Amino acid sequence: MPVKQKITNCLWFDGNAEEAIAFYTAIFADSKVLKLTRYGKAGPGPEGSVMTGLFQLAGQEFIALNGGPMFKFTEAMSLTVNCETQEEVDHFWSRLTADGGGEGPCGWLKDRFGVSWQIVPVALVEMLSDGDAERAQRVMQAMLQMKKIDIAGLRRAYDRA
């Protein structure tokens, strides 16, 4: 059987991979659990607990591993969600910051598991890559003042003469 995806992100959790998978698959459309592998008598995790989970978010495959407390998530690795509308930005922002997540600057957030996300409107990328450097700089300055990205605010900065 051919491999659908050449590279798959593996997210390391400390005993709560199954909870994280359920959390993420409830947020994103076209998401599902594909396979759960459980620890046996040989361990090293508790027998019957999830060792790995293969799951899809928006059709993209991920692996969750219950590896233990040795490693923590940092902002050095983040997942980017490209959003077409403000409603999408609002949806992902509110859901991913719920129940202990936290807001960061410039569209960055951490969910309750410590995973860093960038919630990015496609419009932001388009405005920042505009050939008019002055317009792009105004958008950058506006974005630097935001936590959750506000597309209307970016548009006002972009259109300001």
25-59: pLDDT as tens digits: 999 999 999 999 999 999 898 999 999 999 999 99
**Percentage above 70 pLDDT, the chain:** 98
The Cα–Cα gap between 127 and 147 comes to: 18
Q: Which of 34, 51, 70 is the last residue of a domain?
A: 70
Q: pLDDT tens across 145-158, in order?
A: 999 999 999 999 99
For residues 15-26, give the mean pLDDT.
97
Shared domain check, 92 and 42: no
The Cα–Cα gap between 51 and 20 comes to: 13
Task: Identify the CATH number of the domain in which residue 83 sits.
Answer: 3.10.180.10
Shared domain check, 112 and 145: yes
Q: How confident is the model at residue 4 (pLDDT cuts 50, 70, 90)?
A: confident
Shared domain check, 78 and 29: no
Q: What is the pLDDT of residue 109?
A: 98
Shared domain check, 122 and 155: yes
Shared domain check, 138 and 111: yes
Residue 161 has pLDDT above 80, yes or no: no
Shared domain check, 120 and 66: no
Shared domain check, 104 and 47: no
Q: Identify which of 49, 55, 59 has the alpha carbon closest to the alpha carbon of residue 11.
A: 55
Residue 111 has pLDDT above 80, yes or no: yes
Q: Which of 70, 90, 107 is the last residue of a domain?
A: 70
Q: How confident is the model at residue 3 (pLDDT cuts 50, 70, 90)?
A: low
Number of domains in the chain: 2
**CB atoms closer than 10 angstroms to residue 137:** 13
pTM of the shown model:
0.93
Shared domain check, 51 and 82: no
The Cα–Cα gap between 34 and 52 comes to: 11
DSSP state string for 51-86: EEEEEEETTEEEEEEE--TT----TTSEEEEEESSH
Task: Identify the CATH number of the domain in which residue 41 sits.
Answer: 3.30.720.100
Residues in the chain, total: 161
Q: Identify which of 107, 119, 109, 118 has the alpha carbon closest to the alpha carbon of residue 144.
A: 107
Angle between helices 17-27 and 86-97 (to 10 degrees): 160
Range of the domain at 85: 73-161
Instruction: Write the CA distances from 72 to 17, 51, 67, 115, integer angstroms.
Output: 13, 17, 10, 9
Shared domain check, 114 and 132: yes
Q: Which of 70, 85, 114 is the last residue of a domain?
A: 70
| Amino acid identity for residue 40 in this structure | G
Q: How confident is the model at residue 5 (pLDDT cuts 50, 70, 90)?
A: confident
Shared domain check, 94 and 15: no
Shared domain check, 17 and 95: no
